[in-house]
Amino acid sequence: MNLLCIEHLCITISCFSLAIFIAKYAENTAQRVWALFNCAVALWSLGALLAGQSKIPEQAIIYWRISCAFSIFIPTFFFHFVCSYFKIKNKFILIAVYIQTTILFILILFCKPFVTIKFLFNSFYYFTSNPYLNSTAIFWWLITFMAFYKFFIYLNTDKKVNKPYLIMFFAWIIGFLGGASTFLPCYGIMIYPMWHILICLYVGIITYVIFYHRLLPINIVIKRSIIYSLLAATISLTYLLSVLISQQLFRQYFGYSSTIIGSIIIAIAFIPLKNTIQDFVDRFFLKATPMEMAQQNEQLLKEVTQTERMKSVAILASGMAHEIKNPLTPIKTFSEQLPTHLDDKEFLLKFSGIINKEVDRIDSLVQELLNFAKPSPPQLKETPIHQLIEQTLDLLNSEIICHKITIDTSFENKNILINIDPQQIRQALLNIFLNAMDAMPKGGTLSINTSVIARSACPAKDEEATKQSLVIKITDTGCGIAPKDLPHIFDPFFTKKDSGTGLGLSITHEVIKNHNGRILAESELNKGTTFRIELPL
């Protein structure tokens, strides 16, 4: 396999991977067109790869037809992406561009004069210049310049241009320059077509933008060190290609024996160069070393988790305000009547007992709130689970009334005790209840059912053991969850809410997991969602 084929193999794999990745997370037309753009680049590169290794002229010309035909869609998809991403209204121009692109696609595939080839660099068949191909090249460049012009105009007119847009702009320039180097040999400029590899650099930079600047809704915790690894891999790939290119050049101009010398020179220079580039990447792009980034990421996760917890505390405090008012009523009554009953021992004895009881109740409520706000490792103790569920619902009573939600409970054996951390399970339940209320802004029914089931455990000594689990089913009649989103609802930072952090259900999942239980979700759009929690008894 020659150097041209190795380059196009790298481009094909990287662009296809990027296309699939973007398509998976695409949420709008611009992102879907972007996926098509990368797919077109990959298909162009695949055709060039097959043509570069073909030794039969008839086969080579077929593959170059395929390559050139798909290349004509590259600027078109780029133009469409720019118009859609920046909401530029060019409907009629876009339709005209697609019609012209389709016509050229058909002509390149089926009209022989459009693609001609010749044998270059004593290595492969390459397409050559002709009047028909020149007209195609003019169209290619025209649409490319139109797209970059509109992109550039947007960057200049919008005073609040984000850094990702600037990086994307330069990444596309690098990618298109790499692709444009394809035309050099076909116009008689005998420079080995090795600059295609710049397209892989475009893929690396775009990947950096996607992960580091959250350009796509990737709802998983991604350490910034991944970017470092990707860029380090790009450096290593560059080294490999440098060795291959040096072999090609040294063999061509100095003979085979000089190839080894060239490889040794590159190998010696690579280590300090690699360290310098990685240090530059750390400081300029990532603003920190990999260890510092890992520490920052861990601290960020702790802060966001604590923010989610404090959000729950605020809601709990609102519910507790109502609960605290109840014991304050007899205390206030006693204080008002005390001046007139100073000599009434029966009155003093009766109300002193009531006051002590109500003060203890307030103290207990406040202590629960403090314990809930303070993160701590699970502290398991026998807890009446149904009482815990009812208490959590009571704390949300004002929210439930405000949302016009009906509560329907059905508990099996209300006296069940379960070995859990009550504060953590309370938070897990609270997160699900709050999500259910958000899903029913116009009211609905929230059903909580419990049952005890037998579950199979790992057999011990060839005997099948069974354990019992408490199943808590929480069902709402809300808007439901889209099928494509359902597998990701427990991923950190996954949210469809404008004000959400996306950590509520992730924390719930972690809490249940730490209790050796499991949580599952079923949902149907516009009908509701059911969460099923299984906790071992």
DSSP conformation letters of 296-323: HHHHHHHHHHHHHHHHHHHHHHHHHHHH
pLDDT at position 457 = 43
pLDDT at position 282 = 57
Amino acid letter, 185: P
Those residues with Cβ within 8 angstroms of residue 323's Cβ, 6 or more apart along the chain or in another chain: 365, 394, 395
pLDDT at position 458 = 41
Give yes or no for residue 222 having a pLDDT over 50: no
Domain boundaries, the chain: 3-222, 224-287, 296-375, 383-536
Backbone angles phi, psi at 5, to 5 degrees: -70, -40
The CATH number fitting domain 383-536, selected from 3.30.565.10, 3.30.310.80, 3.40.50.720, 3.40.50.300? 3.30.565.10
Give yes or no for residue 456 having a pLDDT over 50: no
More confident residue, 131 or 354: 131
Cα distances (Å, whole numbers) of residue 67 to 49, 72, 171, 186, 239: 9, 9, 22, 14, 27
Cα distances (Å, whole numbers) of residue 445 to 256, 405, 527: 80, 6, 11
DSSP letters of 54-115?
--SHHHHHHHHHHHHHHHTHHHHHHHHHHHHHTT---HHHHHHHHHHHHHHHHHHHH-GGG-
> Tens digit of pLDDT for each residue in 226-263?
544 555 555 556 555 665 565 555 555 555 444 455 55
Give yes or no for residue 190 having a pLDDT over 90: no
Tell me if 436 sits within 8 A of 446, measured CB to CB.
yes
End-to-end CA distance of the chain: 63
Residue 471 CA to residue 52 CA, distance in Å, equals 62
Instruction: Please state which architecture CATH assigns to domain 296-375.
Output: Orthogonal Bundle (1.10)
Those residues with Cβ within 8 angstroms of residue 178's Cβ, 6 or more apart along the chain or in another chain: 195, 196, 197, 198, 199, 201, 202
Identical fold between 3-222 and 383-536: no
Tell me if 422 sits within 8 A of 386, measured CB to CB.
no
pLDDT exceeding 90 applies to what percent of the chain?
21
pLDDT at position 242 = 60
Pairing of strands 444-456, 405-410: parallel
Buried (b) or exposed (e) across 145-179, using 16+ Cβ within 10 A? ebbbebbeebeeeeeeeeebbebbbebbebbbebb
> Tens digit of pLDDT for each residue in 90-100?
888 999 999 99
Residue 117 CA to residue 61 CA, distance in Å, equals 7
More confident residue, 184 or 213: 184
Which residues are registered as beta bridge partners of 383?
A: 418
More confident residue, 481 or 213: 481
- Average pLDDT of the chain is 78
CATH class, range 3-222? mainly alpha
When mean pLDDT is compared over 286-300, 382-396, 448-462, the highest value belongs to 382-396
Give the confidence band of 343 by pLDDT, cuts at 50, 70, 90.
confident
C-alpha torsion 502→506→507→511, nearest 10: 170
Stated as kind and residue range, the H or E segment containing 410 is: strand 405-410
